[in-house]
């Protein structure tokens, strides 16, 4: 039994934690996920693989509620996600029980990040192979927040971020196109970012919107409508570019 | 001298509780809400040791919420009642909770229901229930006047008769009562019956 106490995550000679970096690789292979913070809305979007025809998609919810005012999306090992989400849900209720107040987004992010870190410094365990995007409204100030955690256990707040497959392209797009938005504009921005890397169509993306009233999963029809709007705008922009050139 | 009682009507369930917080001969406050709203369609009227009451009811409420987040659907009233009974039973032979509970709930499939759960983990599904010294009077009144499928007005009238009986016959009757109701539209406070302002 003593053999299993040896840490799996040990330092390399040049100061790297390879297990953590390999976990980040696992995240990079996971499905794309994006989060955008608006003034009164926060949007989470996740790529959905469309190859599974016989699967009942309702049983695979990729954007979940941690509490009435907090939601989470992740990229990476989904089984690891289940464990973290379960622990986080318990912590949300436990916090309410001991201090009679709901958790702040920062608190629960710090908790999840702390859990992820613990597994990089324990014997016989491997790190969690997922990065999370945590969104919510502060229950006291009503200020929206978006946080990201990763397998190393670091976390930070973002205006908009992406993780998972092709996250670099999505993040570049967001850096170029981000501006303070609200309501429907925030939803459009999130879906535009996802469409950079995902095939077009409502059945390939799952989108959820967090407002002060709570989390709302968008129907496929709603997503299709926004996608159509975005495609129309893109087509119009293309036409405008080509237009002046023809006149000469 | 805590009084908690409840009854089932047509499409709803009612829970009535006194609102006094007492220590020996001192009344701390007379607007203590002892009927906790467990979730959107469940009410839990609790009487007994104040500390145990708060501890146990809050613990149950948070676990009911957790179940809902984990599974995406709320617990049925029956499941919640059995969960509570299980917790009371587990603690009984070590560190018992001195709390008596009347659980009222409304489920879409089965309609309204009422459960009697006492501090030694007795669980009964009933149409009418009562705890405390007040039960001698409220149970007798309900036995005499209760009919299945009463309307809200008829049930409130019966509750008023019970409160009247408690007020006139119990030596140290509580000053104020609160009535809460649960039906298909959810659990909510119905009204108060006050003799003193707090």
Q: Say if B58 is an interface residue toward chain A (CB within 8 Å).
A: yes
Please count the residues of chain B. 198
Please tell me the pTM assigned to this model: 0.89
In eight-state DSSP terms, residue A17 is B
Cα A42 from Cα A142, distance rounded (Å): 12
To 5 degrees, how large is the angle CA A68–CA A215–CA A141?
60
pLDDT score, position A200? 67
Identify whether the C-beta of residue B112 lies closer than 8 Å to the C-beta of residue B183.
yes
pLDDT score, position A4? 57
Cα A244 from Cα A237, distance rounded (Å): 12
- Number of Cβ within 10 Å of residue B111's Cβ equals 16
* Subunit contact A93:B63, Cβ cutoff 8 A: yes
What percent of chain A clears pLDDT 70, i.e. is strictly above it? Answer: 94
Q: What is the pLDDT of residues A163-198, one digit of tens each?
A: 999 999 999 999 999 999 999 999 999 999 999 898
The pLDDT tens digits along chain B (198 residues) read 899 999 999 999 999 999 999 998 999 999 999 999 999 999 999 999 999 999 999 999 999 999 999 998 899 999 999 999 999 999 999 999 999 999 999 999 999 999 999 999 999 999 999 999 999 999 999 999 999 999 999 999 999 999 999 999 999 999 999 999 999 999 999 999 999 886
pLDDT score, position A8? 78
Cα A87 from Cα A66, distance rounded (Å): 10
What percent of chain B clears pLDDT 70, i.e. is strictly above it? Answer: 99
Q: What is the pLDDT of residues A108-148, one digit of tens each?
A: 999 999 999 999 988 888 999 999 999 999 999 999 999 99
* Subunit contact A93:B58, Cβ cutoff 8 A: no
pLDDT score, position B21? 93
* Subunit contact A65:B69, Cβ cutoff 8 A: yes
Report residue A247's pLDDT band, with 50, 70 and 90 as the boundaries.
low
* Subunit contact A92:B70, Cβ cutoff 8 A: no
Q: Say if B73 is an interface residue toward chain A (CB within 8 Å).
A: no
Q: What is the pLDDT of residues B79-136, one digit of tens each?
A: 999 999 999 999 999 999 999 999 999 999 999 999 999 999 999 999 999 999 999 9
When CB atoms are compared, the residue of B62, B70, B72 closest to A96 is: B62
Cα B48 from Cα B169, distance rounded (Å): 21
Report residue A21's pLDDT band, with 50, 70 and 90 as the boundaries.
very high
Interface test with B, best of A91, A93, A100 (most B CBs within 10 A): A93
Q: What is the pLDDT of residues A182-239, one digit of tens each?
A: 999 999 999 999 998 987 666 789 999 999 999 999 988 899 999 999 989 989 988 8
């Amino acid at each position: 039994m003593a053999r299993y106490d040896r840490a799996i995550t040990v330092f390399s000679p040049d100061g790297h934690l390879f297990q953590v970096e390999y976990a980040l690789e696992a995240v990079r292979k996971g499905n794309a996920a994006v989060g955008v913070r608006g003034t009164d809305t926060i949007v989470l979007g996740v790529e959905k693989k469309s190859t599974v025809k016989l699967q009942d998609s309702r049983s695979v919810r990729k954007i979940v509620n941690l509490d009435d005012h907090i939601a989470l999306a992740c990229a990476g090992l989904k089984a690891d996600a289940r464990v973290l989400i379960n622990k986080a849900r318990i912590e949300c209720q436990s916090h309410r029980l001991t201090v009679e107040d709901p958790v702040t987004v920062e608190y629960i992010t710090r908790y999840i990040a702390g859990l992820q870190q613990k597994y990089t410094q324990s014997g016989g365990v491997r790190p969690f192979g997922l990065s999370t995007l945590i969104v919510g409204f502060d229950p006291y100030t009503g200020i929206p927040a978006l946080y990201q955690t990763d397998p190393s256990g670091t976390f930070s707040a973002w205006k908009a971020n992406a993780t998972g497959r092709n996250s670099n392209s999505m993040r570049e797009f967001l850096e170029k196109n981000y501006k303070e938005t609200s309501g429907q504009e925030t939803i459009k921005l999130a879906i535009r970012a996802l469409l950079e890397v995902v095939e077009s169509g409502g059945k390939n993306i799952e989108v959820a919107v967090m407002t002060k009233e709570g989390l709302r999963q968008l129907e496929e029809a709603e997503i299709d409508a926004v996608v159509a709007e975005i495609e129309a705008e893109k087509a119009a922009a293309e036409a405008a570019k080509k237009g002046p050139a023809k006149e000469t | 001298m805590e009084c908690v009682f409840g009854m089932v009507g047509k499409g709803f369930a009612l829970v009535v509780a006194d609102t006094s917080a007492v220590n020996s001969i001192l009344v701390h406050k007379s607007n203590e809400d002892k009927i906790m709203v467990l979730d959107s369609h469940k009410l839990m009227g609790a009487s007994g040791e104040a500390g145990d009451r708060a501890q146990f009811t809050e613990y149950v409420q948070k676990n009911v919420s957790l179940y809902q987040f984990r599974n995406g659907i709320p617990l049925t009233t029956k499941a919640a009642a059995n969960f509570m009974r299980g917790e009371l039973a587990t603690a009984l032979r070590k560190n018992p909770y001195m709390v008596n509970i009347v659980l009222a709930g409304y489920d879409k499939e089965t309609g309204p229901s009422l459960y009697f759960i006492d501090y030694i983990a007795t669980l009964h599904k009933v149409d009418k229930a009562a705890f405390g010294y007040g039960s001698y009077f409220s149970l007798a009144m309900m036995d005499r006047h209760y009919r299945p499928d009463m309307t809200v007005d008829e049930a409130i009238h019966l509750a008023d008769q019970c409160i009247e009986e408690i007020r006139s016959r119990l030596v140290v009757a509580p000053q104020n009562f609160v009535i809460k109701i649960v039906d298909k539209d959810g659990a909510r406070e119905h009204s108060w019956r006050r003799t003193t302002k707090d």
